[in-house]
Amino acid sequence: VNVITLTTDFGTSDWFVGTMKGVMLKIHPRARIVDLTHEIAPGNIRAGAFALAASAPYFPNGTVHVAVVDPGVGGARRAIAIRTRRYVFIGPDNGVLSLAAANEEVRSVRVLQNEGLFLKHISRTFHGRDIFAPVAAHLSQGTGFRKLGARAGSYVQVDWPQPFVDADGVRGEVVYLDRFGNAITNIPADAVPAGDRVEVWMKRTQVGTLESSYESVPAGAPVAVVGSTGFVEVAVNTGSAARVLALKPGDPIRVRTGA
C-alpha cells in the first residue's frame, strides 16, 4: 500500500525528518509517508514504544512502521525489522518496536545487515537517514524481507511496568502524559469492573468512579475514564490533570473494586 510511518525523537525544528523523506522518495517515489510523531522526548524509548503501539494498528495492512528513538546510535545496538501478519516494524533493537509488535502476530525478525539497501555513506550519528529510511523504502517498494540480513532470534523488550492485582483492586502507575495533560496509566480497561463501587485514587486524590466522558464532572474537576488507547486515564474536565494534580510518569494509581 506504499504507506510508511515515522515515529522519532528528532523534533521538527531541524531538517532530520525531511531528509529521511527525501531519501525514501528517491528510492520509492510513490511512498506515502505519514508522521506519527517526532516529539518523543529525546531518548525516551518507552514513550516511543507506547506512541507506536497506540497508533500502528489503525493503519492499512502492508504499512511499514519506522521508529527511531535511538540514544545508542553508532554504538553496539543492532538494527532490526520485525515482520508481522499485517505490518513491518523497523528500528533500533532497543525495545522501541516491542509494544507495537506485541499487538500483532509476529512472523519473522531480521537484522539489518545488507548494506546494499543502505545509503552509500553511513554516518555515525544519523542512521535514521542512512539505514532506517532507505531500508523502509526498499521494503515498501517490494524488496523481500529475507534480503535484509540474518534472522534475529529474539529482540529487546521495552521496560514496561505491569499493573498489580489484589483482592482490593488494581494498582498501577502513570505511563504517559499527553498534550492535554491527561494521565494515561498502565491499567487496561478490562481489568476494572464497571459500577459505582469502583473508586479511583491518583496519588492521594480520590478521583471518584470511572465516568463515561470528561463532561461527566464539572469543569475543573478530576475525572477517570477509559481512554482512547484502552487504558484507565485520569483527566481534568477542560483542564490539565498533569498540572492540577502535579502528575508525572511513574506516579501511582489505585483502582479499588472491593466494597
- Residues contributing to the site for its own copies (CB under 8 A): 1, 3, 5, 7, 10-19, 21-23, 25-26, 29, 32-39, 42-43, 51-52, 54-56, 58-60, 63, 71-76, 123-126, 129-130, 178-180, 212-215, 225-228, 233, 235, 238
User: Residue 68: what residue type?
Assistant: V
User: Residue 105: what residue type?
Assistant: E
Question: For its own copies, which is the closer residue by CB, 13 or 204?
Answer: 13
Q: In angstroms, what is the minimal distance from the CB of 4 to its own copies?
A: 11
Question: For its own copies, which is the closer residue by CB, 165 or 191?
Answer: 191
Q: What is the DSSP string of 185-223?
A: EEEEGGGS--STT-EEEETTEEEESEESSGGGS-TT-EE
Q: In angstroms, what is the minimal distance from the CB of 25 to its own copies?
A: 6
User: Residue 212: what residue type?
Assistant: S
Q: In angstroms, what is the minimal distance from the CB of 60 to its own copies?
A: 4
22: left (phi over 0), alpha (psi -120 to 50) or beta: alpha
Q: In angstroms, what is the minimal distance from the CB of 201 to its own copies?
A: 21
Cell numbers for 40: 518523543
Q: In this structure, are strands 164-166 and 88-92 parallel, antiparallel, or unpaired?
A: unpaired
Question: For its own copies, which is the closer residue by CB, 168 or 215?
Answer: 215
User: Residue 242: what residue type?
Assistant: A
Question: For its own copies, which is the closer residue by CB, 34 or 259?
Answer: 34
Question: For its own copies, which is the closer residue by CB, 11 or 258?
Answer: 11
Q: In angstroms, what is the minimal distance from the CB of 196 to its own copies?
A: 18
Cell numbers for 115: 548494506
Question: For its own copies, which is the closer residue by CB, 157 or 238?
Answer: 238
Q: In angstroms, what is the minimal distance from the CB of 237 to its own copies?
A: 9
Q: What is the DSSP string of 64-90?
A: EEEEE--TTTTSS--EEEEEESS-EEE
Q: In angstroms, what is the minimal distance from the CB of 164 to its own copies?
A: 25
Question: For its own copies, which is the closer residue by CB, 45 or 109?
Answer: 45
Q: What is the DSSP string of 144-177?
A: -GGGG-SB--S-PPP--PPPEEETTEEEEEEEEE
Burial of 213 (0-12, 13-18, 19+ CB in 10 A): exposed
Cα 205 from chain centroid (whole Å): 28
